[in-house]
Structure 1
Amino acid sequence: MLRESLTGLKVVDFSVIGAGPTCSMFLGDMGADVVKVEPPDGDPGRRLGPPWYHERESAVYVAFNRNKRSVCIDLKSPEGVAVARRLIASADVVVESFRPGVLDRLGLGYAAMQECNPRLVYCSVSAYGRTGDYATRAGVDGILQAASGLMMVLGEAGQAPGKVQAPIVDVATGYMATIGVLARLIQRVRGGKGGHVDVSLFGTAVALQQPSFTGFLGDGALPARVGSAAPYSAPNEAFAARDGWIMIAAYLGNRWDRLCELLERPELVEDQRFLTSSLRVSNRDAMRVELSAALALHDCDHWVDLLLQNDILCSKVCNYADVVESPALAHLQLIAEMHGDDGHTYRTPGFPINSRESQSTPHRAPPRLGQDTKAVLFELGYLRDEIDALLSSGALLAPDSKGGHAGT
């Protein structure tokens, strides 16, 4: 099973919030033992909200941290750094999202750790890469949507810059990091050594825009902001029906002809403005007026049923409530359900590869801050007295080491 493909691998995750935690979560979804290392006040993602799960857990934190164990280490203390070093020395993979140079100064960077653990795969996630003029700049999803040009191709012309509300750059960077880690692990199987994976939010955000950037590099023209429409084909956009919106992609000749017939507008097939997809792109506003008038006569369900029966690509523009009720979501089993040791149930979008197989094995709920600190240190060979001393010094934190603190 895919859920067992990385069983036996140990991942130490120093990353926070979105991109790095997405990578380590997917590695955990594939069976790796993921140890999430958090500072005394926890991953900042724990404090981002609303919305909140069960009035105490951030949905942001829950979204990115299933199938992990939490160890709380204060890297500002020498004792904490020593524990982290021992943890990394035992790992197959490290994922980190500190600003470039921070872990190097602590003696926990790739160069230092590779010497004592040559098989280590070390993944660094940053805003703009580890070198260059922007290397020390911090960045989050929205900033990189702006810096990469993505915000300037979203929304309608004349409106304020748009933004993908889902943290698409964070999540896609997590995908990229996962690919890089898996590639380095294959390299290790072949050559016995690990390697460094360097992935940036900026690089991912640019790569997400392959067609529009390629067009700009080809002709130098800035892409127009066309809302839901694809800039390179038409019709390929959302139209208002009587009770909502419907997305239609009928830009190939035979589908365009069929759409015009189904809308009872056969004369549009011979209209000189709309003879090809390129002409329809050039005359998009006029095309939209003609199609919108017909589509407004009936509800979304009417049009979806009719168009699908005639092989026209379409979908109602769904909200999340619609998606949760979708037969496709149910069939693919795309929601992972987890039961925490606090008695609460947590639900998130699950691992999307071989999803029906992936959800057949229970997932570990996102951990409370430091809930596995003692267990992980025992596994590293620390004695009980040593662990107690580290807890007393503040180098480590466990749920019961500060009056029942659980990081909520």
Structure 2
Amino acid sequence: MPHQPASSALARFRVIDLTQVRAGPTCCRQLADWGADVIQVQMPEHMRGDDTLGGQDGSDYQYTHRNKRSITLNLKEPEGIATLKRLIAGADVVVENFRPDVKFRLGIDYESLAKDNPKLVYASISGFGQSGPLATRPGFDQIAQGMGGLMSVTGIPGEGPMRVGIPIADLCAGIFAAQGILVALLERESSGKGQWLHTSLLEAMVYMMDFQTSRFLIDGEVATQAGNFHPTSIPTGVYKARDGYLNIAVFGSKIWERFCNILGAPEWIEDPRYHDKASRDVNRDSLNAQINERLAAQDRSHWITQFNEGGVACGLISDMREVFAEPQIAHLGMVKEVVSARMGPQKLVGQPVQLERTPSTIARAAPRRGEHTEEILRELGIADTDLARMKATGVY
């Protein structure tokens, strides 16, 4: 079946996805969800490695590879490389996450491919960058979380570093790569030229440290763990009502006053221990203990209503079941439905950005390995007799 764009926004672009695992596939999913014709190039079934996110029937794989087509090519065979180059010659974008040296050894680096396709936008994603002392190290999400500083500020003080519960370095590297591709495609409209862009898990993680980096680079302050409480805005964090936990966020003096009044503690506004941000920082432990004492008088629903109606941000701490039971999530339409020919009806989370005129959807479920190989090769003009020969000789 020919390309079925998930949106008209990027439907004019073809993307060749040479990636594995998560960061690269995430990048390509972003483009596919906005309509690009993403062709996932995988090794033939008999040569495949452990690159499929829990197997092709797993929920992880189904989520990450929706809206793509799949082709198999044996890149250890000269004809496999030649066929790939033929495919890339008519493409707009290539995304790869090989070890930095592999693309040069295979002759599919940017400079080599740009000779035949000078408008090509070529994106590389790695663990630590394309050059430098750590460039050849294997990259992994949790390693980047640790080296990028995130684990040093995550977790309960005194209990050691803590990873976050999602592969945030992988995901951010993939999303930043997709953003870089879109910037390069926009620039191409004026210059007529493609270019090589690259990012890494480590760069993405350092960038995501955000205000913690400026606290160090500008103020010289090395952040430490603050547990469930915001390191600089107090009181902001996890508190316990009569029936469970909730989040409360108090930013600024006006909201602090609202918070105190709603909690029935207007005396805290003038209390020298709490009356300004610096004082609350010094006395945060005693303040948090008193807040929890007062919250214990009512259930979460009471406080969530009171605080939000009073202009203080407050919300549940939800597990996945509660997330998708939330009426606002349903209203936002984040859950999309698609039918997999192999696995039947599926529900998947769609894009978090809504374009009113050119929305994103899920047009097709994740493909089986090589599901569209012959379809795509025919689009290149390869005859059926050649397809039979290529299959028999292990090219795909």
- Report the TM-score range of the alignment, normalised by the length of the smaller protein: over 0.9
Determine if the alignment matches structure 1 residue 279 to structure 2 residue 273.
Answer: no
Determine which structure has greater relative contact order: mean sequence separation of CA pairs < 8 Å that are 6+ residues apart, divided by chain length: 2
Cα distance change of structure 1 residues 2 and 13 upon mapping to structure 2, 3 Å threshold: closer
Tell me, yes or no, if structure 1 residue 161 matches structure 2 residue 167: no
Whether the 8 Å contact between 1:336 and 1:359 is mirrored in structure 2 is no
Q: Which residue of 2 aligns with 1:348?
A: 348
Segments of 5+ residues of structure 1 without an aligned counterpart are: 50-55, 397-408
Q: What's the counterpart of residue 292 of structure 2?
A: 292
Partner of 1:84: 84
Displacement after TM superposition at 1:325 (Å): 1.2
Gaps of 5+ in 2: none
Letter in 2 for 1:9: F
Counterpart pick for 1:15 among 19, 22, 27: 19
Counterpart for residue 171 of structure 1: 171
2:31 is matched with: 27
Matched, 1:48 2:87: no
Which residue pairs with 1:405 in the alignment?
A: none
Which 4+ residue blocks in structure 1 deviate beyond 4 angstroms? 355-362
Partner of 1:39: 43
What is the CA-CA distance between 1:251 and the residue it aligns to?
3.0
Residues in 1 aligned to 2:124 and 2:17: alpha-carbon distance in whole angstroms: 10
Q: Aligned partners of 1:234, 1:73: CA distance in 2, in Å?
A: 56
Counterpart of 1:305 in structure 2 is: 305
Distance 1:197 1:327 in 2: 40
Task: Report the Cα offset of residue 145 of structure 1.
Answer: 0.4
Question: What TM-score comes out, normalization by structure 2 length?
Answer: 0.94
Residues 338 and 362, structure 2, Cα contact 8 Å, conserved in 1: yes
Q: Which residue of 2 aligns with 1:112?
A: 112
Which segment drifts farther, 58-67 or 124-133? 58-67
- TM-score, normalised with respect to structure 1: 0.91
Q: Which residue of 1 aligns with 2:381?
A: 381
- Distance in 2 between the 1:59 and 1:174 partners? 19
Are the aligned partners of 1:39 and 1:72 in contact in 2 as well (CA < 8 Å)? yes
TM-superposition CA deviations, 1:303-352 (whole Å, max 9, x none): 10111111111111111111101122111111222211225122222111
Query: Counterpart of 1:403?
Result: none
Residues 355, 164 of structure 1: CA spacing in aligned structure 2 closer, same or farther, 3 A cutoff?
A: farther
Q: Are residues 1:257 and 2:257 paired?
A: yes
Greater CA deviation, 347-356 or 169-178? 347-356
Letter in 2 for 1:372: H
Give the count of matched residue pairs. Answer: 390
How many angstroms apart in 1 are the aligned matches of 2:220 and 2:306? 41
Identity between Structure 1 and Structure 2 (%): 36
Are residues 355 and 326 of structure 1, via their aligned partners in 2, closer, same or farther at CA, if it must alter by over 3 Å? farther
Letter in structure 1 aligned against 2:20: V
Match of 1:404 in 2: none
Distance 1:58 1:37 in 2: 19
Question: In the TM superposition, what whole-angstrom CA distance separates every residue of 1:56-91 from its partner, at most 9, and x where no partner exists?
Answer: 722221221111001111212222111111111121
Maintained 8 Å contact 2:22/2:53: no
Residue pair 1:12, 1:93 contacting (<8 A) in 2 also? yes
Q: Secondary structure at the match of 1:274?
A: coil
Structure 2 SS opposite 1:196: strand
SS in 2 for 1:365: coil
Equivalence for 1:63? 63
Residue aligned with 1:273, SS: coil
The AA in structure 2 aligned to 1:46 is T
Q: In 2, Cα distance between the equivalents of 1:319 and 1:358?
A: 32
Q: Confirm whether residue 367 of structure 1 aligns to residue 367 of structure 2.
A: yes
CA–CA separation in structure 1 for the residues paired with 2:272 and 2:224: 23
Q: Partners of 1:356 and 1:366 in 2: how far apart?
A: 25
Asked if the contact 1:45/1:58 (under 8 Å) is kept, the reply is: no
Counterpart residue number, 1:406: none
Q: Which amino acid aligns with 1:33?
A: D
Specify the code of the residue in structure 2 equivalent to 1:6.
Answer: L
Stretch moving more, 274-283 or 122-131: 274-283
The change in CA–CA distance for 1:330 and 1:255 in structure 2 (over 3 A counts) is same
| Distance (whole Å) between structure 1 residues aligned to residue 256 and residue 177 of structure 2 | 40
